[in-house]
A and B are shown apart, each in its own frame.
Chain A
Amino acid sequence: MTVAIAKERWASRCLETVLGTGPRQVKVGGDATLPFLHFEGEIPNPPVVALEVFDAPPQEWPEFLTGAYEGVLSDPVAWAKRCQDYGADLVALRLTRTHPDGENASPEEAARVAAAVAEAVEVPLIVLGCGVEEKDAAVLPEVASALSGRNCLLGCATQENYKSIVAGCIANGHAVIASSPLDINLAKQLNILITEMNLEPNRIVIDPSIGALGYGIEYAYSIIERVRTGALMGDKMLSMPVILLVGQEVWKTKEAKTPDTAEWGEHKKRAILWEVTTAVSLIHAGGHIAVVRHPESLQYIKEHIAKMMQPQKY
């Protein structure tokens, strides 16, 4: 008795986004099928993993995480190079110093740091604002201009502040992260608003605002799944690659912060697995770029991706 392999005939495919310039350029998206279903459609680009760099020494990180970046925590340029050495596909610079409740660094200051980091690494750069919508709207256009022509990925743009950020990306040749609060409709609406400013759809990356393992990951999972099926069924406003800001969610969970305990076991192992499990689950939902913090997480995730990229044979 023969078994016929059931194959879905998808009407469309994800958009392909190119980030960075030169030999270490990264391409994401372009999938013509569900994650890793090679037998059904083409998957031209594997998911990629980025490591985070802070523009100031991070507070409240456990020792084994800061330990991985020992000696470079106060120097974003050196830190970024370390990430590159660890094998990161991209470097994600987080502009924490611009936060209005903290140092409130100026847009010019932030742009200077970003330019220095971009200059130092060969891999593409992601630049993340402080998360305060108004401040990001002022900072990111300045960063965009300082990084002009480097084809970076800037974010996050929201429905409240997308205008100036997107204008900066258009003027300086960058891609933008469009961030929406775990809602497929809001994600789509923001993409429409951004494309109506004439940024090409393949210059947009969707940030669905994921939750970490145990903290709402299932919502993120189903949203990302719906983005992917939407793209495959031909919805152009859902065809963009998806970025997973894993590190920022995982390292604030109590499972990643609590030291060794009898019930939960070894701290380091547990925290890294929390990051790996979150990232891998959401890559299986359809995520394209995972942004993590620990270099060991990066290794595990990349190993998993490499295995999954081996085509099935029927």
Chain B
Amino acid sequence: MPGKTVLFLPDKLSVTVEPGQTLLQAATKAGITLRGACGAKGVCGRCRVQVKSGRVSLSGQGRITPEEAAAGWVLACLAVPEDEVTVYVPEESRLTEHRVLLEERESGVLTAIETAETSLRPLFGRRLVTLAPPTLSDNTDDYGRLTWTLQQHGERAPFWAGYALLRSLPRVLREANWQVAVELAAVEGATEIQGVIPASGDLKGPFGLAVDIGTTTVAAELVDLATGNVVATAGTYNRQAAFGDDVISRIIYATETAGGQAALREAVTETVNGLVGELLRLRGLNPEDVRAVVCAGNTTMVHLFLGIDPTYIRLEPYIPAVNMPPPVRAAELGLAAHPEAWVYCLPGVASYVGGDITAGIKVSGIAAAEPLSLFLDIGTNGEMVLGNQEWLMACACSAGPAFEGSGITCGMRAVSGAIEAVRVLPGGFEVIYRTVGGEKPLGICGSGLIDLLASLHQAGVIDRGGRFVPDQESPRVREGSEGLEFVLAWENETGTGREIFVTQADIQNLMRAKAAVFAGIRTLLANVGLPLEAVEKVFIAGGFGRFLNIRDAIAIGMLPDLPLERYTYIGNSSLKGARLALLSQAVWEEMKAIARRVTYVELSVGNRFMEEFMSALFLPHTDLSLFPSLGKERD
């Protein structure tokens, strides 16, 4: 059977897909990443597209109304082209590009974290050496002469080299007059000699790559390994997002859909290669110039990236295939880098605490400091680490993607047009909001949602349990298809011509997200029998953290009521950690040691977390005395 051609508008991109493949798969092939939260199950209703011409067969309606269906609207994940079709992809169905957090300078909050490493000793480096020429009294072989000299220069034994290198070694050494640059890669406690070239040549770089593979976003830095300088940065969405918002739905997609695991691997590889291409173009370099890659990602991301079966990560007792994967050649992964370049994935701790968190521990410095510190990655997985130089404990509270706008009817990421701050006036008649970029509102992002939750309660629209107070006179509170909802912006105010509102279900979703974070913190503390006040420093990482207003987050009971000066925002510590490891063999070893030190707390065991979660499902908390600064303390 011939393939079906799909033309995407307004991009005017045309692709041919196999019979039976959906419009979602076609869009991915065309490089258009559609929004999807449910793992292509037709439930979330985000991948809406309009069929302009041609026939599609549908395996379901999703949330498309009959009127919309008559106008050609379908969910891309449920529609299979039957002949040549033309499809219009509206803006709101796309994962639009946005600034992915790359640098701490964007944070506006801090930071005083010292990232300078003592010595530059990258995982891949060129060492200039002069070998003593052989004589009758020094008849060592060429390879032995080379390794002996390297050892004298402080390189780490044992050494090993590929057969191809040995074949050319005698000639290269002599032609270079025994003055050579040796290309060395640190691999699992040994040193691989990847190349021997004349020292006199024009030596650029070498370059390395630090990559943060986030569930939602992927960021990369191109690093000059000779100087340690970052020469270019780039970030984008993880194209796996089309197959599910969170790690669980992606694992399900990988294990239950034919070819799912390959599709996810391809999606992330393409995402990373896209970034690498962009970085190399900026600097006029070739993939062969990239000689080492360090990736930081959560355990699931690493499994999917390496093409390792993730099935058992999500099944009790939650065992990943590997926490500390050995390095893999770039060629084996299909990465746009020197084929022999090693790809190192930062060591993780457990199924839901991965190398990105190990990086966070290193970057925040909590493992080396005396004060009791808390590291929080406020994202979909909600990993957190508590401890100091003596002990470290970690858990993942699975906050869900609500604060990243997912799973919320009118939620969106913090891109232009997102409502980022809201005030609801008492009674709920009037709403004041501010959008990113001052644009007409398109939806509401995480910081806006946190603001909204606090504000709706203060205005008397919802009670402490997050339920709409019945019988309100405000025209903004109305009966929707799924219970009461609150209209934030009327259709004539918005950029889409559709109202922006929050439903009772959205509010419960937010309540659960914030409760999970706080319950995670309390559970870690309870494990060591310490009160909230014992936490002397809180480091917040993750893309969402940048937009987070700490005051608001305390007001809704998501973060502990500690003095604001104890909070520090450290930006993308995952990417930073990857770069530190790339530039220092010592840091790489240290991260392994850190990962081994961390005690993973399994939250599903015992009653503690559930108990804490239930008590945090309240504004701000069932135990109001935990939030003294909110001025509503009971005796």
Contact = CB atoms under 8 A, between A and B. Distances in A.
Interface of A: 159-160, 163-164, 183-186, 188-189, 192-193, 196, 236-237
Given A163-B470, A185-B622, A237-B634, A196 B464 contact: yes
B635 A185 contact: no
B331 interface: no
The 4 lowest CB-CB distance pairs between A and B, nearest first, are A185-B614, A185-B615, A185-B622, A188-B622
- Mostly, the B contact residues are loop
B303 to A, nearest CB: 36
Given A163-B469, A188-B622, A192-B624, 17 more contacts: A159-B467, A163-B470, A163-B471, A164-B470, A183-B614, A185-B611, A185-B614, A185-B615, A185-B617, A185-B622, A188-B615, A189-B617, A189-B622, A196-B463, A196-B464, A236-B634, A236-B635
A159 B465 contact: yes
Contacts of A186: 614
Interface in B594-635: 611, 614-615, 617-618, 622-624, 634-635
Interface in B466-494: 467, 469-471
Nearest to A164: B470
A163 B464 CA distance: 13
Contacts of B471: 163
Contacts of A192: 464, 618, 622, 624
B474 to A, nearest CB: 16
A22 to B, nearest CB: 34
Nearest to B635: A236
Contacts of A159: 465, 467
B527 to A, nearest CB: 19
A193 B467 CA distance: 11
Contacts of B617: 185, 189
A160 B504 CA distance: 12
Interface residues of B, number: 17
17 contacts: A159-B465, A159-B467, A160-B467, A163-B469, A163-B470, A164-B470, A185-B611, A185-B614, A185-B617, A189-B464, A189-B622, A192-B622, A193-B463, A196-B463, A236-B634, A236-B635, A237-B634
Interface string B352-394: 0000000000000000000000000000000000000000000
Interface in B434-483: 463-465, 467, 469-471
A184 B622 CA distance: 10
Contacts of B465: 159, 189, 193
Contacts of A188: 615, 622-623
User: Of A183, A185, A193, which is in contact with the most chain B CB atoms at under 10 Å from its CB?
Assistant: A185
A215 B635 CA distance: 37
Nearest to B469: A163
A183 B612 CA distance: 12
A193 B464 contact: yes
A212 B168 CA distance: 85
B263 to A, nearest CB: 42
User: Of A159, A163, A183, A192, which is in contact with the most chain B CB atoms at under 10 Å from its CB?
Assistant: A192
Contacts of B463: 193, 196
A190 B602 CA distance: 30
A39 B258 CA distance: 71
A196 B465 CA distance: 12
A28 B295 CA distance: 65
A125 B321 CA distance: 64
A198 B221 CA distance: 58
User: Of B470, B622, B634, B635, which is in contact with the most chain A CB atoms at under 10 Å from its CB?
Assistant: B622
Contacts of B615: 185, 188
Interface string B45-59: 000000000000000
B215 to A, nearest CB: 30
A76 to B, nearest CB: 30
Contacts of B618: 185, 189, 192
B450 to A, nearest CB: 20
Nearest to A191: B622
A274 B47 CA distance: 57
A186 B464 CA distance: 12
Nearest to B613: A185
A193 B617 CA distance: 13
Nearest to A192: B464
Nearest to B612: A185
A60 B624 CA distance: 46
A68 B181 CA distance: 103
Contacts of A196: 463-464
Contacts of B464: 189, 192-193, 196
Interface string B189-203: 000000000000000
